[in-house]
A and B are shown apart, each in its own frame.
Chain A
Amino acid sequence: MNRLKEHRTALVLLAVSLVFLLTGTLLRGEHEVVLEKAIRICLECIGIG
């Protein structure tokens, strides 16, 4: 019980994080934007422009 009390803020944040992750992936498909960007060489990142 003490452990739960000690970490209650973190546990609330973890619960919110799961809701956000599910919203971002299942409802909005944001992970596809990330994938699309990450599988092409990012010219800005490597300094080409």
Chain B
Amino acid sequence: MDKKKHGAKTHHTTQKKRHAIQLVWALLTNSYLTGFLYGKIYTGKLKQLCVPGLNCYSCPGALGSCPIGALQAVLGSRNFKFSFYLAGFFLLIGALMGRFVCGFLCPFGLIQELLHKIPFFKKIRYVPGEKVLVKLKYLILLIFVILLPLYAVDILGQGSPWFCKLICPAGTLEGGLPLVFLNEALQNTIGFLYAWKNAILILTILASILIYRPFCKFICPLGAIYSFFNRVAIFRHRVDPKRCTECRLCAHICPMNVNPAKNPNSAECIRCGACIKACPAQALSHTFTKRTEISSHTTSSAPLPPSSNGY
């Protein structure tokens, strides 16, 4: 079988397995079915624990807390100006797996990926100014998640969760829409902010059809936090320069526009594993695979055309 065809087939199988893991995780962490039936949210003790991905705690099914919402809640409270609990949580998850969370354990990431599967005559592979735009998420983290909850406080000294309030489309989709739909009291209170947040959600949905994971690439403050750990996490990628033929197949197949052969632990890598499966020389691997000796192999040096990357 032709190597490129074989690579594409393996790639799709790998991504299907990943989507299955994403789906199972999303269902497990949002399995409070009563919430969906009666327009309520889970109020048990489990909610003092955070889930690793972006998952609104006001989603009727949510069993855990969103770490970004939790961070804003602690920073915005009168008693704390630093959160050891959330800093410890981010260090723990980040040191274990970095942005693996984005690729496997984030329900909002899955939603964007599924939206991107909707056919459209022209998908946007590279957004103009993408290299600069990917830095936007760090600015959003600093301003909306840290500084505003800390310093834009009311007379009681309490801050608001500004990222959730003004930006987060996950909260609108997972919490706002189902709760307002199911709860008549909430329907009577919606106003400009609800319209604003729905406009952001619609924009995110449309952008996700055209661009692979636009929210993760440019906006997500949680991805920004985990990205700091990609280089040092226990789960990370590695490249064997002796095997790499610089064919650039990995760069062509990467939906996050990373060049894994040059920078296998880029801050943008969400660990989807597409590059590892695509590499015909088996030059890419991760830290949980055993290093093997170079065997005799032939590789194709011709890169795939951009349209054949499967995204």
Q: Do A and B come from one complex?
A: yes
List A residues at the B interface (Cβ < 8 Å). Answer: 6-7, 9-11, 13-14, 16-25, 27-28, 30-39, 41-42, 44-49
Give chain B's interface residue range (CB within 8 Å of chain A).
Answer: 35 or more
Chain B: minimal CB distance from A38 (Å): 4
Which of A7, A41, A42, A49 has most chain B Cβ within 10 Å? A42
Q: List 6 A-B contacts (CB under 8 A).
A: A13-B94, A24-B86, A34-B50, A41-B175, A42-B171, A47-B198
Closest to A13 in B: B95
Label chain A's interface by main secondary structure.
helix
Closest to A49 in B: B193
Residues from 82 to 100 in B contacting A, C-beta threshold 8 Å: 83-92, 94-96
Q: Are A14 and B96 in contact (CB under 8 A)?
A: yes
- Decide yes or no: A24 and B73 within 8 Å by CB, A42-B175, A45-B165, A47-B196 being known contacts: no
Q: Are A23 and B84 in contact (CB under 8 A)?
A: yes
* B172 touches A (CB below 8 Å): yes
Chain B: minimal CB distance from A4 (Å): 11
* B284 touches A (CB below 8 Å): no
* B176 touches A (CB below 8 Å): yes
Chain A: minimal CB distance from B160 (Å): 6
Closest to A16 in B: B91
Chain A: minimal CB distance from B285 (Å): 13
Q: Are B87 and A10 in contact (CB under 8 A)?
A: no
* B111 touches A (CB below 8 Å): no
Which of B65, B84, B164, B193 has most chain A Cβ within 10 Å? B84
Which of B41-49, B127-135, B246-254, B297-305 touches A? B41-49
- Decide yes or no: A21 and B85 within 8 Å by CB, A7-B234, A14-B91 being known contacts: yes
Q: Are A46 and B58 in contact (CB under 8 A)?
A: yes
List chain A residues, Cβ under 8 A from B196.
47
Chain B: minimal CB distance from A23 (Å): 4
Residues from 62 to 89 in B contacting A, C-beta threshold 8 Å: 65, 69-70, 73-74, 77, 79-80, 83-89
Q: Are B56 and A47 in contact (CB under 8 A)?
A: no
Closest to B169 in A: A47
* B191 touches A (CB below 8 Å): yes
* B189 touches A (CB below 8 Å): yes
Chain B: minimal CB distance from A10 (Å): 4
List chain A residues, Cβ under 8 A from B73.
33-34, 36-38
Q: Are A38 and B70 in contact (CB under 8 A)?
A: yes
In the bound assembly, the distance between CA atoms of A11 and B90 in angstroms comes to 14
Q: Rank and list the top 7 A-B pairs by shortest CB-CB distance, nearest first.
A: A24-B85, A20-B88, A24-B84, A17-B91, A21-B88, A47-B197, A46-B176
Partner of B165, one of A13, A14, A36, A44: A44
List chain A residues, Cβ under 8 A from B193.
47-49
List chain A residues, Cβ under 8 A from B102.
none
In the bound assembly, the distance between CA atoms of A42 and B96 in angstroms comes to 30
Closest to B191 in A: A49
Closest to B49 in A: A31
Q: Are B95 and A18 in contact (CB under 8 A)?
A: no
Q: Are A42 and B92 in contact (CB under 8 A)?
A: no
